[in-house]
């Protein structure tokens, strides 16, 4: 039987603030265990939380980027439950009045755009980190209280591919607005996926199954694909889908039961009594929106519609904000944007040191522009340009200096090239006879000798055209 898949995703994103959501403890991913925690994080008697203003600004940035309705009155709630990674015995969150609601994210699957609704975005604090060793569980409280944003999608994703595209696009957006590095491998971005299957054409949703803590985009897609297969097999056999929480086992490459869900947990939410409501100034909210960078979807549209880049190349650029920013710095009325994009994607990226991220720190934009101009004008061949570019890494030399030192300037003087061709044919008359007999290697031979005489500096396109014309003229007599 054919089934309709419905997927919703909850994403938790750690924010790159200097201090925690409600305390002055440092946020550090590299600090020794249990060194970034204080009495407020542990809710010791007599301590009171205070709201991190930067975390609120970051929440507003992403809310604006997702085109959400903003709640200007910031209020927090207490979520009560006991677990070993929750030092307070409760979590401060925004259950009743999230800072952002009713947003959207544009994703692309097979180059087709699709709008995915965002239900809500709210602020909260992270839990401590559990480290399991044999029969013991250790707790690192450094993560306790780190600012989190939870972003909840509408159940509008219809395939594993769409879900992977959604997570990828949201991760990209988070990086663009500068609120987190969003490294999934480090737990800075964590995904919970809800999946249900129903007979195709049905108006009702199937039983929801949750897959927790997916730590890579690849695993998001694989886990959903495996869960769809599992649920489809059960439904085909007229077996019931049980509401449950699953995890994805990378070794087994399948979803594995963690626990069955028997009703909704009552967290006994109530207003956080230690935090007064905060009324945000409308001017500040507007200022944050006005200062947003160009967002990925807008940049993608500019590259494809205004500059004429193919979607694949435009998407490669946009996927890496630092690379895309560098490309934007290169845009010049004198340079072809398509050729420039191809060169950046292939050659510049290939010469970028692996330990570096910022392209403008490694390459001088002015020098790369100059190199692109020489290639475009055919003053340098692509082969010669490959000899120049490594010398520009870390801004060691200028293009002019490298070209001068290596004697790389391309020769495009037709009289000089013709002189070489005539000399080659005069010394090798058999080549003319071979060409007349239809032997293709004749032109290649002439070209090889031209490049030898010019020390690789002859314009290859011009030389090839002139060689063919000369051979034609000599064989037609």
Q: Please identify which residue in the block is written with the tokens 């060194």.
A: 35
> Are residues 410 and 382 in contact, defined by beta-carbon separation less than 8 angstroms?
no
Mean pLDDT of 428-450: 87
Beta bridge partners of 255: 248
Q: Would you state the pLDDT for residue 93? A: 97
Residue 438 has pLDDT above 90, yes or no: no
Per the prediction, the chain carries an average pLDDT of 93
Q: What is the pLDDT of residue 457?
A: 79
Whether residue 262 is predicted with pLDDT greater than 70 in this model: the reply is no
Q: How far apart are CA 447 and CA 450, in angstroms?
A: 5
Average pLDDT of 176-203?
A: 93
Supply the pTM of this predicted model.
Answer: 0.86
User: Distance between CA 35 and CA 26 in Å, rounded?
Assistant: 9
Residues 71-98: what's their mean pLDDT? 94
- At 403 the pLDDT is 86
Output the pLDDT for position 472. Answer: 86
pLDDT of residue 189 exceeding 80? yes
Q: Give the mean model confidence (pLDDT) for residues 285-299.
A: 97
**Residue 354 φ/ψ region, left for φ over 0, alpha for ψ in the -120 to 50 degree band, beta for the rest:** alpha
pLDDT (tens digit, 9 = 90+) per residue, 349-381? 999 999 898 999 999 999 999 999 999 887 888
Each residue of 407-426: pLDDT tens digit?
777 788 889 999 999 899 98
Strands 100-109 and 244-249: unpaired
DSSP 8-state symbol, 346: I
Of 234-243, 278-287, 334-343, 406-415, the one with minimum mean pLDDT is 406-415
Confidence grade of residue 265 (pLDDT, cut at 50, 70, 90): confident
Provide mean pLDDT across the span 440-451. 88
CB 149 within 8 A of CB 58: yes
- CA distances 250 to 7, 222, 226, Å, are 21, 9, 11
pLDDT for residue 310: 97
Domains of the chain: 3-284 (no CATH), 294-406 (no CATH), 414-475 (1.10.10.410)
The two three-digit tokens of residue 27, written as one number: 């946020």
pLDDT category of residue 475 using cuts at 50, 70 and 90:
confident
How many Å apart are CA 88 and CA 81, to the nearest integer? 9
* Residue 84 banded pLDDT, cuts 50, 70, 90: confident
- pLDDT value of position 1: 80
**Average pLDDT of the segment spanning 52-56:** 98
How many C-beta atoms lie closer than 10 Å to residue 303's C-beta? 24
Exposed/middle/buried for residue 251 (C-beta within 10 Å: 0-12, 13-18, 19+): exposed
Residue 405: band (very low, low, confident or very high) from pLDDT cuts 50, 70, 90: confident
For 96-122, write each residue's pLDDT tens digit: 999 999 999 999 999 999 999 999 999
* pLDDT tier at 406, thresholds 50, 70, 90: confident
Question: What number is the average pLDDT over the span 237-250?
Answer: 92
Please determine, for residue 455, whether its predicted confidence score (pLDDT) is greater than 80.
no
Comparing 169-178, 246-255, 297-306, the range with the smallest average pLDDT is 246-255
Residue 50 has pLDDT above 80, yes or no: yes
Residue 434, pLDDT score:
86
pLDDT at res. 409: 74
**Span 441-470, average pLDDT:** 87
Q: What gap in Å lies between CA 133 and CA 393, rounded to an integer?
A: 45
Mean pLDDT score, 127-140: 90
For residue 261, pLDDT beyond 80: no
The distance of Cα 118 from the centroid of its chain, to the nearest Å, equals: 19
For the segment 133-162, the average pLDDT, to the nearest whole number, is 95
Give me the pLDDT at residue 181, please.
94
Q: Is the pLDDT of residue 477 over 70?
A: no
Among 96-105, 271-280, 284-293, 456-465, name the one with the lowest average pLDDT. Answer: 456-465
Distance in angstroms (rounded) separating the CA atoms of residues 462 and 440: 18
């Amino acid at each position: 039987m054919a089934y309709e898949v419905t997927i919703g995703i909850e994403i938790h994103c750690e924010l790159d603030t200097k201090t925690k959501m409600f305390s002055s403890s440092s946020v550090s991913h590299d600090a020794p265990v249990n060194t970034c925690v204080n009495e407020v994080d542990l809710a010791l008697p007599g301590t009171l939380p205070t709201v991190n203003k930067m975390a609120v600004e970051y929440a507003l940035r992403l809310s604006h980027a997702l085109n959400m309705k903003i709640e200007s009155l910031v209020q927090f709630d207490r979520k009560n439950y006991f677990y070993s990674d929750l030092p307070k015995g409760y979590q401060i969150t925004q259950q009743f009045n999230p800072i952002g609601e009713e947003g959207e994210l544009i994703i692309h699957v097979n180059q087709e755009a699709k709008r995915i609704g965002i239900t809500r975005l709210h602020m909260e604090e992270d839990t401590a980190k559990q480290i399991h060793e044999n029969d013991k569980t250790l707790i690192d409280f450094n993560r306790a209280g780190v600012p989190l944003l939870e972003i909840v999608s509408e159940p509008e994703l219809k395939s594993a591919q769409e879900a992977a595209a959604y997570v990828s696009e949201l991760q990209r957006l988070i990086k663009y607005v500068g609120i987190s590095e969003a490294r999934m491998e480090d737990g800075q971005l964590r995904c919970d996926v809800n999946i249900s299957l129903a007979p195709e054409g049905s108006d009702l949703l199937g039983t929801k199954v949750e897959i927790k803590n997916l730590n890579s985009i690849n695993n998001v897609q694989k886990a959903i694909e495996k869960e769809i297969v599992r649920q489809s097999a059960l439904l085909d056999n007229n077996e019931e889908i049980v509401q449950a929480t699953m995890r994805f086992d990378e070794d087994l490459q399948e979803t594995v039961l963690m626990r069955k869900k028997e009703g909704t947990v009552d967290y006994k939410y109530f207003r956080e009594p230690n935090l007064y409501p905060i009324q945000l100034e409308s001017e500040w909210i507007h200022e944050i929106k006005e200062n947003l960078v160009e967002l990925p979807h807008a940049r993608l549209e500019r590259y494809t519609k205004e500059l004429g880049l193919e979607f694949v190349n435009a998407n490669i650029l946009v996927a890496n904000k630092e690379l895309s920013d560098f490309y934007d710095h290169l845009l010049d009325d004198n340079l072809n944007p398509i050729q420039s994009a191809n060169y950046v994607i292939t050659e510049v990226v290939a010469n970028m040191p692996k330990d570096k991220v910022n392209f403008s720190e490694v390459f001088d934009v002015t020098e790369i522009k100059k190199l692109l101009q020489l290639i475009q004008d055919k003053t340098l061949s692509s082969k010669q340009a490959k000899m120049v570019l490594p010398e520009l890494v870390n801004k060691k030399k200028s293009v002019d200096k490298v070209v001068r030192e290596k004697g790389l300037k391309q020769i495009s003087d037709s009289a000089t090239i013709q002189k070489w061709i005539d000399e080659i044919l005069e010394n090798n008359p058999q080549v003319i006879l071979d060409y007349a007999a239809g032997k293709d290697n004749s032109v290649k031979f002439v070209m090889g000798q031209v490049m030898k005489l010019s020390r690789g500096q002859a314009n290859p396109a011009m030389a090839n055209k002139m060689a063919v014309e000369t051979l034609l003229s000599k064989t037609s007599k």
